A and B are shown apart, each in its own frame.
Chain A
Amino acid sequence: MLRRSLLRGLPGLGALPGLRAGRAAAAPAPAMGPLRFSWPTNAGPLHPHLYAPNQMYAQAMLYEPLVRYVEGGGVAPALATAWRAEEGGRAYVFSLRPGVRFSDGTPFDAAAVVANLRALLENRARHAWLELVAQIAGVEALDAGTVRLALHGPYYPTLMELALIRPLRFASPAALRPDGTLAAPIGTGPWALAETRPGQHDLFRRREDYWGPRPALQAVQVKVLADANTRALALESGEIDLAYGTDQLDADSFRRFAGDRRFTTAISPPLATRLMAMNSARFPTDDLAVRQAIAQGIDRAALVRHVLLDTEPAAETLFAENFPYTRLGLRAPAHDRAAAAARLEQAGWHLPPGGRVRQKEGRELALDLCFVGSDALQKSLAEAVQGDLARLGIAARLRGEDSASYLGRQKSGEFGLIFTDSWGAPYDPHAFLGSMRQPAHADYQAQRGLPMKAEIDRRIGAVLVSTEEAARAEEYRWLLTTLHEQAVYFPISFLTNKLVYRAGLGTVPFGGTRYEIPFDQILPRG
């Protein structure tokens, strides 16, 4: 029994069938105590407008947006109950929800919105990556319950970007200092930060005076656990109740929990896309035939089955079809090694007698396949891809490097193939496409060699300011179809949130975006 339990729990051995649980793990979660969750670091100072070390899941617990993102690309009322576009999309007027208070008792009103947005705009350079911040011309309170947001020009994703977890959410004006710093993390959300112990945990308590439906849980304790194996063991030993996220648990551990009746597991709908970008501006992937052969020659289904252990669905397109403007019926070419090899032959890439790497005009068909060396998943994927390419006669040199060097390659374009992710909801597709115009991005570098790159950039610019729905859909159709046909991406899988919790905990739903964990919607059993 003991040996079996040890074997079952060992990382990498957990998938052995027939192994049963140890008895300590059978203890149910405490009924009345806080829900125990874990995260790799503390929540941070929790400034609603700022980035690291503020953790997005915690910012989303404390701070609320004017409008909330709903799956599929829609928005729903949050702190604003209604809104209307004016001047052809050059301004938006929001009616604020009455009766909302921050957790310090300060009323949420138009003055609070204006104070927050002005503090944000004072620091505009920091948020320059977000197009909406650049587009905001000004903000004014029309009355205590109405705010008008003026833009420099029409920008159709305005509502989507207002739904982001940061930087466009609201702290209590009483806590917001004139220089934009924060005295205390005070928001309008259903939770308030009750305690932080560095390196140990953060404790969030339910707000009894929350304007919306009160969460069923009284408190959430988030323990600091940096390692995924430790998290799996903590879940198993009953020291945490829930694991939720894209990479909170490795695929192997997730499959093990899925086969254990004491735990409930679930996989969310697609939230973003795991991709490899192919560099159209660099030899040999500057040859469309090579890119198309790679797209056809890599066995995507095998990657998903054997490396990702079916924890993510295979991706055939740049964006999943549950994102706006992406239901175009595009499909990736079916995996066909012989057809891929024939395509290379036709394009003049031949195997020399006795050789294993194809050549054309004396140059070998060899490329750099770049990934983060410490990322075990990327490494496994890269090795599998290298094997598939070798069978086609393409030599892939694996370049596993530290994350800064890897980012440097994305920025400079020194790659043949490189791993990357799309940004996920609510950034996809508009913000991710918008970033394709920035030379700092792998996407720009990958597309730089396309004959229609200037046209792609022009149309991306046009789609973001378009005001007519049909014209916008048509622009998206052209853009996504062109990128698909030009094979500058090899979509691998759709990133999902994985959820594991003790079966006795109750019901845990998924949030609409990657970093929003709906603690307020968890319904404990009994």
Chain B
Amino acid sequence: MTGFALRRLLSLPPLLLAVSFGFFAMLRLGRGDPALDYLRLAQIPPTDAALALARLELGLDRPLLAQYGAWLAGLARGDLGTSWFTRRPVLEEIAEFLPATLQLAGTAMLVTLLLGLPLGFWAALRRDRWPDHATRLIAFLGVSLPNFWLAFLLVLLFAVTLGWLPAMGREGPASLILPALATATMSACVMLRLVRASVLGALGEPHLRFAAARGLPRRVLLARHVGLNALLPPLTAMGLHLGELIGGAMVVETVFGWPGLGRWALLAIGNRDYPVLQGFVLVLTLVFVLGNLLVDLAYAWLDPRLRLEHAA
């Protein structure tokens, strides 16, 4: 298991390098001139002299490979560059905005599990009865609703109409509820459907019929023989949800004025702030890969067959 984890960790640097180069190339080879955007934001008319000065200041006057080399050299020193817009170190801004995003994504993940797991079990155990139909309808609606639209609906209901919760900002636990719900709804509904299908699959396994024939109580059957087996596919999905939740937070953070990494990145997209975007993608890749590594380790821990395979 340790060897498996180490191998996965060792694969991280080349992966980050490949992602960073791919993203760097994608940004630089796209249409348009970021120096023009820089001047637009500064409300400076784009004269040739102003453009030349902006390119010099932003380092855009150098060849592409030299620009990437400089960024990489900075990265080796723990320097992700300086935001073209705020003129502040990217790493400092990441450290400032990441906790809010992790808080939001973490809470959303918790909501996903708290809603998706029990409702999925419930729906599967009452297959083709009203709880199954009701949860499937909810899941269908939840998966279909774009999160920004749901976010506006939640604000209208709970903040504007009822006045129970704040509409925006990050001040106290109450302000976390609506953004977390808006972020988690789609993942929770996907999780619900996955758990339902997984439980139904486990319920149809021959070993369960044999265990029942041996006279094991229903509680033990469900907890040990259905529950543990049915958890494996949703666990894999959790790794994917992690990226989805952080990605989804971009829009939700903007709607709720949540001071996180997503809104910061969205602003950077509008501003063509390349150093910020490169830093954001690097952090996102890191979180995604580490999250999936944790999921894989948990998977191996839950499923003895995997441990034995690795041991062999």
Q: In angstroms, how far is the closest chain A Cβ from the Cβ of B50? A: 6
Q: Does A32 contact B (CB under 8 A)?
A: no
Q: Does B220 contact A (CB under 8 A)?
A: no
Q: Is the CB of B160 within 8 A of A402?
A: no
> A46-79, CB under 8 A of B: which get 1 and which 0?
0000011100100000000000000000000000
Q: In angstroms, how far is the closest chain B Cβ from the Cβ of A346? A: 38
Within 8 A of A (CB), among B42-89: 42-51, 53, 85-87
Q: Which residue of chain B has its CB nearest to the CB of A227?
A: B254
Q: Known: A44-B86, A52-B85, A408-B32. Contact between A5 and B160, CB under 8 A? A: yes
Residues of A within 8 A of B33 (CB): 404, 407-408
Within 8 A of B (CB), among A208-252: 223-227, 229-230, 233-234, 236-237, 239
Q: Which residue of chain A has its CB nearest to the CB of B56?
A: A125
Q: Does B303 contact A (CB under 8 A)?
A: no
Query: Which among A22, A234, A401 is the interface contact of B163 at CB below 8 angstroms?
Result: A22
CA–CA, A56 and B168, complex, Å: 24
Q: Is the CB of B254 within 8 A of A226?
A: yes
CA–CA, A401 and B30, complex, Å: 12
Q: In angstroms, how far is the closest chain A Cβ from the Cβ of B283? A: 16
CA–CA, A224 and B267, complex, Å: 12
Q: In angstroms, how far is the closest chain B Cβ from the Cβ of A193? A: 16
Q: Which residue of chain B has its CB nearest to the CB of A3?
A: B161
Q: Is the CB of B255 within 8 A of A227?
A: yes
CA–CA, A299 and B293, complex, Å: 61
Q: Is the CB of A407 within 8 A of B163?
A: no
CA–CA, A45 and B82, complex, Å: 15
Residues of B within 8 A of A226 (CB): 254, 257, 263, 266-267
Q: Does B152 contact A (CB under 8 A)?
A: yes
CA–CA, A25 and B163, complex, Å: 8
Name the prevailing secondary structure of the B interface residues. helix
Q: Known: A41-B267, A233-B152. Contact between A239 and B161, CB under 8 A? A: no
Q: Is the CB of B160 within 8 A of A199?
A: no
Q: Is the CB of A51 within 8 A of B259?
A: no
Residues of A within 8 A of B100 (CB): 199
Q: Does B225 contact A (CB under 8 A)?
A: no
Residues of A within 8 A of B254 (CB): 226-227, 230
Within 8 A of A (CB), among B129-172: 152-153, 155-157, 159-164, 166-170
Q: Is the CB of A237 within 8 A of B160?
A: yes
CA–CA, A226 and B160, complex, Å: 19
Q: Is the CB of A407 within 8 A of B37?
A: yes
Q: How many A-B residue pairs have CB under 8 A?
A: 166
Within 8 A of B (CB), among A394-452: 401-405, 407-408, 410-411, 435, 438-441
Residues of B within 8 A of A225 (CB): 168, 257
Q: Does A200 contact B (CB under 8 A)?
A: yes
Q: Which residue of chain A has its CB nearest to the CB of B156?
A: A9
Q: Is the CB of B44 within 8 A of A51?
A: yes
Q: Is the CB of A223 within 8 A of B257?
A: yes
Q: Which residue of chain B has its CB nearest to the CB of A7?
A: B156
Query: Which among A9, A22, A45, A129 is the interface contact of B87 at CB below 8 angstroms?
Result: A45
Query: Which among A27, A56, A125, A234 is the interface contact of B167 at CB below 8 angstroms?
Result: A234
CA–CA, A223 and B167, complex, Å: 12
Residues of A within 8 A of B170 (CB): 200
Q: In angstroms, how far is the closest chain A Cβ from the Cβ of B45? A: 5
CA–CA, A510 and B50, complex, Å: 32
> B186-204, CB under 8 A of A: which get 1 and which 0?
0000000000000000000
Q: Is the CB of B160 within 8 A of A223?
A: no
Q: Does A6 contact B (CB under 8 A)?
A: yes
Residues of A within 8 A of B51 (CB): 440
Q: Does A128 contact B (CB under 8 A)?
A: yes
Category for how many chain B residues contact A = 35 or more
Residues of A within 8 A of B272 (CB): 404
Query: Which among B32, B41, B155, B267 is the interface contact of A237 at CB below 8 angstroms?
Result: B155
Q: Which residue of chain B has its CB nearest to the CB of A25?
A: B160
Q: Does A470 contact B (CB under 8 A)?
A: no
Query: Which among A23, A40, A404, A435 is the interface contact of B45 at CB below 8 angstroms?
Result: A435
Q: Which residue of chain A has its CB nearest to the CB of B257?
A: A225
Q: In angstroms, how far is the closest chain B Cβ from the Cβ of A194? A: 17
Q: Known: A45-B87, A237-B159. Contact between A125 and B49, CB under 8 A? A: yes
Q: Does B224 contact A (CB under 8 A)?
A: no
Q: Known: A198-B97, A199-B263, A239-B168. Contact between A233 and B46, CB under 8 A? A: no
Q: Does A11 contact B (CB under 8 A)?
A: yes
Within 8 A of A (CB), among B163-184: 163-164, 166-170
Q: Is the CB of B163 within 8 A of A24?
A: yes
CA–CA, A236 and B167, complex, Å: 10
Residues of A within 8 A of B44 (CB): 51, 129
Q: Is the CB of A401 within 8 A of B31?
A: yes
> Which of the listed residues A125, A233, A407, A411 has the most CB atoms from chain B within 10 Å of its own CB?
A233
Q: Does B205 contact A (CB under 8 A)?
A: no
Q: Does A363 contact B (CB under 8 A)?
A: no
Q: Is the CB of A237 within 8 A of B45?
A: no
CA–CA, A435 and B43, complex, Å: 13
Q: Known: A51-B42, A126-B53, A440-B47. Contact between A239 and B167, CB under 8 A? A: yes
CA–CA, A441 and B39, complex, Å: 13
Q: Is the CB of B31 within 8 A of A24?
A: no
**30 residue pairs from A and B, CB less than 8 Å apart:** A5-B160, A9-B160, A9-B161, A10-B156, A25-B163, A27-B163, A40-B267, A51-B41, A52-B41, A53-B87, A129-B44, A129-B45, A129-B50, A197-B259, A199-B96, A199-B260, A199-B264, A224-B257, A226-B254, A227-B254, A230-B167, A230-B257, A233-B152, A233-B168, A401-B31, A403-B37, A403-B40, A410-B46, A435-B45, A440-B50
Instruction: Sort A-B residue pairs by CB-CB distance and give the 8 closest, nearest first.
Output: A24-B163, A404-B32, A199-B259, A51-B42, A22-B161, A52-B42, A52-B41, A407-B36
Interface residues of B (CB under 8 A from A): 31-34, 36-51, 53, 85-87, 93, 96-97, 100, 152-153, 155-157, 159-164, 166-170, 254-257, 259-260, 263-264, 266-267, 270, 272
